[in-house]
């Protein structure tokens, strides 16, 4: 071998390396050899574009279709890196799944609207080798235009490695290019956004809907012939519930282009793109419209209107249906339609005499629709000044406040009405400010806490708080609890220091409801001062909340030791001691690290290491019981009862969902009483701050973190006596009924093939809480019953609608859980209380429907799958003390 040939081999090796290198990582300028779409070249490909949809795990029979066609790419003009491609999509033909197919689950060709659509060649303008714009023949149906955009998007690529923002049929994405070999590279798209399409989501960790997408295209080149041999594009989108990840849908869309022929065509003249285009247009006399690569949404406009749908679903919307599944399902249907309905149509439903008995439910729905149109329609009918409209006003305001998609214009409108209108009755006014606060908080969850509305609302509440006198202040504290703004912490700490004991309790409740990360040094210092009463005496509830707060952060060994010593002290605030003791036990059951710390402190301390020291008297309880555990989330019931003189001073039963570190209180039922000590035999001389309030008792609900206006059972002594003697509260009465939206997701995903997938998930909770209280002074007993019935339905659809085929997969999951809390109290001697918490059997159903239709044809494919799971009922064992008292009471 002579040196020359060695040199030659070396050079050609180097060259091929470089070639590879060019593809791999070189700057754009050097790709002189590779000139794809050379002017005058013509390449013909076979296109197959397939869409399959299925349930999340893609394990059962899917539905779907594909379109095949021949595609000819003619490069009719070119200068450097600028080109004009004329592309022809020949005879696109729909194939669908059919039993008649030769292979099981195979595809057969089927007639469709696609066959008759106008379909002329279109132009792709490349500038600097990237697709700049499309010129589509005028008046082609949208489905056809979208398919063409999907096809043209395959030509949106670059042949050097790197990451870049790119627009194509998937929207605006981050495109990552990597080389697999000299002649092959992949384009991976991520973070695709389509800001022009509607998008609704619930930001909550547990209630959110997860969407996982993957998009990858593989390009295979023929380097010698300067041509693309094939493009294989694959993408998939999984949508599922965060709270239960096995429930969801799956869609995949693949496009495959394979070279079948090459040829030559004649080109047109022109110094630049514009000149060439002018020539071309005068030559062919086709009228074009300029388009981007992004496809457009097809709407078929055959949806029923809101008012029609209300007519259809009327029976499911009646009050009697609340707490059931059919109520939840109808609620979802109406929200889906109502979000795009106009004011006039909504007003028609509100005004109809036939809907008189459903108005409360309609206001629920309209609160969750929360569009400008729906709000204007409601404001035509609802008069906040009118006391008679209290129930309607509150249902509307509650729904607005719980919706995860608050409308800033509606917040501002309500705030204006709140501040300007002095004729609004007190109760509605309180509900208004509570709702405004909650809406502002939810808005900050979506758009960060810089939004102006949030600042306006915060200022308004603080101003009102500063001007209010005495008990009028309380509602603004509650509003701050809904606002959850960390900016208010310094002010609250000041109130704890200087305000009345009751104001201190309200402030602690607000701080406790803020996410832990906002509890800084100052909060923890104040918590310590409050619990140990280092600066002054505090209300017992302030002390117990402060203790909970200390226990929920990484409590120092020293503080925990102080707390344990307090439990062993001779202080007579038995209920506080018992409550804290129970909280420590509950925490120790949940967290092994904490448990070890407690045991170490006790073991190493002679005083504490004595059983009798740490078993305080008192009937307060704190406990947590699991009612659900799955891979995706855990659910528990947390019951906290702080007693005073034998009756509940501050009690709550909370339904809490947890996922990894996120905790969500779905529902909380709180009971409170105050100023009642003088009615009860004071059991031991409790060393506590005396109530300064007049007698009161009531119930406090919070739904998805939004506190509602408290319901008073009575206030003032006269009313209490009346109630007790006449027994009006002993009938079971509904306390709170409403429909609530849990999951709320709507997203349009632009598929690479030019079609658009609609992903819609709505979860509804139809809720009925009722209760009764019986108090007998004669026998000195009290009995209460609280019953919660709920219908929960989640419906998720993934659908692809075109004018030639419609495919959809839908999951629906539902359950009707019930919870019954009985409590019996006997205060004839030493007070004893027995609480029983039971959950009857329930049934979880999970159904899947897959449907495919071809418009204008009889073809309809439907696959259904039904799953049912029994969830056996349980009676929760609360704690030993309670069990002992129950068996003593019912012996």
Ligand X SMILES: *[C@@H]1O[C@H](CO)[C@@H](O)[C@H](O)[C@H]1NC(C)=O
Residues lying near ligand X in the complex (CB under 6 A) are found at 58, 62, 236, 252, 554, 570, 593, 610, 612-613, 629, 632-634, 658-660
Beta carbon nearer to ligand X, 434 or 547: 547
Rounded to an integer, what is the distance from CA 417 to the centroid of its chain? 29
Beta carbon nearer to ligand X, 62 or 702: 62
Question: What element of type H or E holds 816?
Answer: none
The DSSP secondary-structure symbol of 356 reads G
The pair of three-digit structure tokens given for residue 154, joined into one six-digit string: 């395959």
| Shortest distance, position 658 Cβ to ligand X, whole Å | 5
Beta carbon nearer to ligand X, 296 or 658: 658
Beta carbon nearer to ligand X, 500 or 613: 613
Beta carbon nearer to ligand X, 419 or 610: 610
| Shortest distance, position 218 Cβ to ligand X, whole Å | 15
The pair of three-digit structure tokens given for residue 508, joined into one six-digit string: 């602690």
Beta carbon nearer to ligand X, 333 or 659: 659
Q: Cα(367)–Cα(435) distance, rounded to whole angstroms? A: 11
Query: For the packed helices 574-590 and 540-552, what is the interaxial angle rounded to 10 degrees?
Result: 20
| Shortest distance, position 606 Cβ to ligand X, whole Å | 6
Strand 63-79 with 41-55, pairing: antiparallel
| Shortest distance, position 58 Cβ to ligand X, whole Å | 4
State the CB neighbour count (10 A cutoff) for residue 173: 24
DSSP structure string for 93-130? EEEEE-TTSSSTT-EEE---GGGGS----EEEEEETTE
Q: Cα(641)–Cα(784) distance, rounded to whole angstroms? A: 14
Q: Cα(566)–Cα(584) distance, rounded to whole angstroms? A: 13
Q: Cα(441)–Cα(851) distance, rounded to whole angstroms? A: 40
Is residue 104 exposed (0-12), middle (13-18) or buried (19+ Cβ within 10 Å)?
exposed
| Shortest distance, position 254 Cβ to ligand X, whole Å | 9
Beta carbon nearer to ligand X, 266 or 612: 612
Residue with tokens 């929360």: 370
Question: What element of type H or E holds 366?
Answer: helix 359-369
| Shortest distance, position 570 Cβ to ligand X, whole Å | 4
Is residue 535 exposed (0-12), middle (13-18) or buried (19+ Cβ within 10 Å)?
exposed
| Shortest distance, position 523 Cβ to ligand X, whole Å | 13
Q: What is the dihedral of CA 728, 731, 732, 737, to 10 degrees?
A: -50
| Shortest distance, position 630 Cβ to ligand X, whole Å | 7
| Shortest distance, position 214 Cβ to ligand X, whole Å | 9
Beta carbon nearer to ligand X, 633 or 823: 633
Beta carbon nearer to ligand X, 289 or 610: 610
List beta partners, residue 790: 767
Q: Quick one: which of 601, 591, 509, 594 has its CA closest to 548?
A: 509
Beta carbon nearer to ligand X, 71 or 555: 555
* 743 Rama class: left (phi>0) / alpha (psi -120 to 50) / beta: beta
Beta carbon nearer to ligand X, 3 or 104: 104
DSSP structure string for 565-584? HHHTSS---HHHHHHHHHHH
DSSP structure string for 195-206? TTS-EE----TT
Beta carbon nearer to ligand X, 218 or 222: 218
| Shortest distance, position 234 Cβ to ligand X, whole Å | 8
| Shortest distance, position 637 Cβ to ligand X, whole Å | 14
Beta carbon nearer to ligand X, 662 or 712: 662
* SS3 assignment, position 134: strand
Beta carbon nearer to ligand X, 116 or 596: 596
| Shortest distance, position 550 Cβ to ligand X, whole Å | 13
Is residue 229 exposed (0-12), middle (13-18) or buried (19+ Cβ within 10 Å)?
middle
| Shortest distance, position 216 Cβ to ligand X, whole Å | 11
Three-state SS string across 668-703, please?
EEEEEEECCHHHCCCCCCCCCCCCCCCCEEEEEEEE
| Shortest distance, position 103 Cβ to ligand X, whole Å | 12
């Amino acid at each position: 071998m002579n040196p020359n040939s060695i040199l030659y081999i070396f050079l050609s090796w180097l060259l091929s390396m470089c070639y590879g290198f060019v593809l791999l990582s070189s700057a754009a300028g050097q790709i002189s050899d590779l000139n794809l779409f050379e002017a005058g070249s013509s390449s013909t490909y076979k296109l197959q574009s397939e869409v399959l949809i299925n349930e999340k795990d893609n394990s059962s029979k899917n539905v779907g279709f594909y379109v095949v066609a021949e595609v000819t790419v003619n490069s009719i003009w070119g200068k450097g890196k600028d080109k004009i491609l004329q592309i022809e999509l020949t005879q696109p033909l729909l194939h669908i799944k059919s039993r008649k197919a030769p292979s099981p689950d195979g595809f057969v060709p089927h007639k469709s609207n696609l066959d008759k659509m106008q379909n002329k060649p279109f132009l792709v303008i490349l500038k600097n080798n990237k697709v700049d714009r499309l010129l589509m023949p005028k008046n082609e149906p949208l489905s056809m235009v979208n398919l063409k955009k999907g096809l043209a998007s395959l030509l949106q690529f670059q042949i050097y490695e790197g990451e870049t923002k790119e627009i194509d049929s998937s929207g605006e994405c981050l495109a990552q290019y990597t080389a697999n070999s000299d002649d092959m590279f992949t384009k991976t798209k991520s973070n695709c956004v389509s800001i022009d399409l509607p998008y609704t989501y619930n930001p909550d960790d547990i209630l959110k809907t997860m969407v996982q997408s993957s998009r990858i295209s593989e390009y295979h080149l023929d380097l010698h012939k300067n041509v693309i041999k094939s493009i294989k594009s694959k993408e998939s989108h999984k949508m599922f519930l965060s709270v239960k990840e096995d429930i969801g849908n799956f869609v995949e869309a693949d496009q495959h282009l394979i070279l079948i022929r090459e040829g030559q065509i004649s080109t047109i003249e022109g110094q630049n793109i514009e000149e060439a285009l002018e020539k071309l247009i005068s030559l062919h006399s086709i009228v074009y419209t300029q388009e981007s690569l992004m496809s457009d949404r097809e709407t078929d406009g055959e949806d029923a209107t809101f008012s029609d749908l209300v007519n259809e679903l009327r029976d499911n919307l009646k009050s009697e249906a609340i707490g059931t599944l059919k109520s939840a399902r109808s609620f979802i249907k109406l929200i889906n339609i109502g979000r795009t309905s106009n004011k006039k149509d909504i007003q028609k439903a509100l005004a109809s005499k036939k809907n008189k008995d459903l108005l409360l439910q309609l206001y629920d729905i309209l609160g969750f629709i929360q569009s400008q149109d729906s709000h204007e329609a409601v404001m035509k009918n609802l008069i906040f000044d009118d006391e008679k409209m209290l129930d309607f006003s509150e249902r509307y305001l509650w729904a607005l406040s719980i919706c995860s998609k608050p409308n800033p214009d509606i917040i501002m409108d309500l705030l204006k009405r709140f501040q300007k209108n002095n004729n609004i009755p007190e109760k509605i006014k309180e509900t208004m400010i509570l709702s405004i606060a909650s809406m502002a908080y939810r808005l900050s969850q979506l758009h960060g806490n810089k939004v102006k509305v949030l600042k306006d609302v915060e200022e308004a509440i603080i101003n009102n708080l500063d001007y209010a006198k005495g008990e009028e202040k309380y509602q603004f504290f509650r509003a701050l609890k809904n606002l959850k703004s960390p900016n208010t912490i310094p002010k609250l700490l000041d109130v704890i220091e200087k305000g009345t004991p009751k104001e201190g309790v309200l402030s602690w409740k607000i701080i406790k409801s803020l996410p832990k990360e906002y509890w800084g040094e100052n909060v923890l210092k104040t918590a310590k001062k409050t619990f140990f009463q280092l600066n002054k005496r505090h209300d017992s509830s302030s002390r117990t909340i402060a203790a909970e707060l200390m226990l929920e952060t990484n409590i120092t060994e020293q503080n925990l030791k102080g707390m344990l010593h307090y439990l062993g002290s001779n202080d007579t605030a038995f209920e506080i001691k018992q409550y804290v003791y129970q909280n420590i036990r509950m925490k120790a059951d949940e967290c092994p690290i904490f448990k070890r710390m407690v045991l170490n402190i006790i073991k190493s301390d002679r005083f504490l290491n004595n059983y009798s020291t740490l078993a305080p008297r008192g009937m307060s309880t704190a406990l947590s019981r699991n009612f659900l555990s799955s891979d995706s989330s855990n659910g528990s019931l947390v019951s906290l009862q702080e007693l005073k003189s034998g009756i509940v001073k501050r009690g709550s039963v909370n339904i809490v969902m947890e996922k990894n570190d996120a905790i969500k209180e779905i529902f909380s039922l709180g009971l409170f009483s105050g100023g009642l000590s003088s009615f009860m035999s004071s059991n031991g001389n409790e060393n506590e701050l005396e109530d300064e309030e007049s007698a009161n008792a009531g119930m406090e609900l919070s739904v998805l973190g939004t506190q509602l206006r408290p319901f008073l059972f009575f206030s003032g002594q006269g009313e209490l006596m009346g109630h007790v003697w006449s027994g009006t509260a002993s009938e079971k009465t509904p306390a709170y009924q409403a429909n609530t939206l849990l999951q709320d997701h709507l997203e349009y995903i632009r598929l690479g093939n030019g079609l658009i997938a609609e992903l819609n998930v709505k979860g509804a909770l139809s809720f009925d809480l009722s209760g009764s209280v019986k108090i007998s002074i004669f026998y000195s007993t009290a009995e209460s019953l609280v019953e919660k019935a709920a219908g929960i339905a989640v419906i998720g659809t993934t659908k692809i609608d075109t004018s030639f085929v419609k495919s959809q997969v839908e999951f629906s999951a539902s359950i009707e859980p019930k919870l019954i809390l009985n409590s019996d109290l006997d205060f004839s001697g030493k007070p004893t209380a027995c609480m029983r918490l039971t959950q009857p059997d329930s049934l979880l159903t999970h159904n899947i429907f897959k449907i495919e239709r071809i418009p204008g044809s009889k073809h309809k494919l439907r696959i259904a799958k039904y799953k049912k799971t029994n969830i056996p009922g349980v009676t929760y064992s609360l704690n030993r003390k309670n069990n002992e008292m129950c068996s003593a009471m019912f012996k």
